[in-house]
Structure 1
């Protein structure tokens, strides 16, 4: 039980570090709120290595902490809406087993942006923010692809290390 808590703490810290690094990258894509989603790298890996419940807990904890440290209440609300919808979509796609890590991550990136857009429509009480949808869809696909490719490579390395560790233990 202690080792799970320690892993969770390390993964939370790693996701927060990625969130901080993202605040240092001065990228403007022409629409507010578009980011690379570096912290989602950790969420995707946890989703594949554990289950959706742990990924959800990590995602919510990371979003709330990052919001208090680097953002504000609105950033927490927008991020929670996007993060929860994104995780739900990704968890469903992982469960089907029909999509690559990059495909799952791309769907997560798009659904994250859609979730944030829905909340924006409710908060500003207008559908006019929906004009951002094409830009948000493209950015979600692109950033989701990058995060998915990197997550896929990290998962390969993790599996390779697990295999090597298992072989060493069997040879003892």
Structure 2
């Protein structure tokens, strides 16, 4: 878990550096750390994924120097995103919703969660109108991170373990 949390934090930090040179509108991110969360969702299960998301939020908050604000926004986006990814993966199964679809759902709901928190904090419901450009970017970045996540899950699963992306494979953590 520590290694996965460290990789997620480093990817998030690296992403911040990349975005600084891309001149993207505020709030638009690549979601590189989501590849680590996708790995966890597909290979470790819900419990570990929740722990990983919380570790990433807390560690990133400490690194930002503004723990309270970073924690509030990141936790809002992260919790809603992870909850929806787990729900879509569980309800849709691998035969109806691919890892790319789960990634897109995660990206979309991360933006929704952060905008909801921002609207509540600044007491400006009109801020939710910013959702439209964020949704477009979420779909694009969700597809990219989903494709990367699919490759990572396939390459990093244990040798001889069943393919977690196959519709014939049970979810990690499910009872037998």
TM range (shorter): 0.7 to 0.9
1:15 is aligned to 8
Structure 1 unaligned regions, length at least 5: 1-7, 165-172
1:79 is aligned to 74
Question: Does residue 1:55 correspond to 2:49, yes or no?
Answer: yes
Question: Does residue 1:46 correspond to 2:40, yes or no?
Answer: yes
Selected match of 2:111 from 113, 117, 123: 113
2:149 is aligned to 151
SS of the residue corresponding to residue 163 of structure 1 reads coil
Matches within 5 A, 1:29-44: 29-30=24-25, 32-44=26-38
Q: CA deviation at 1:119?
A: 0.6
Aligned in 2, Cα 1:71/1:33: closer, same or farther, shift over 3 Å?
farther
Q: CA deviation at 1:140?
A: 1.1
Selected match of 2:86 from 82, 91, 94: 91
1:122 is aligned to 120
Q: CA deviation at 1:103?
A: 0.3
CA distance in structure 1 between the partners assigned to 2:23 and 2:41 by the alignment? 29
More moved, 20-29 vs 126-135: 20-29
SS of the residue corresponding to residue 160 of structure 2 reads helix
> Pairwise CA RMSD of aligned residues?
1.4
Q: CA deviation at 1:163?
A: 2.4
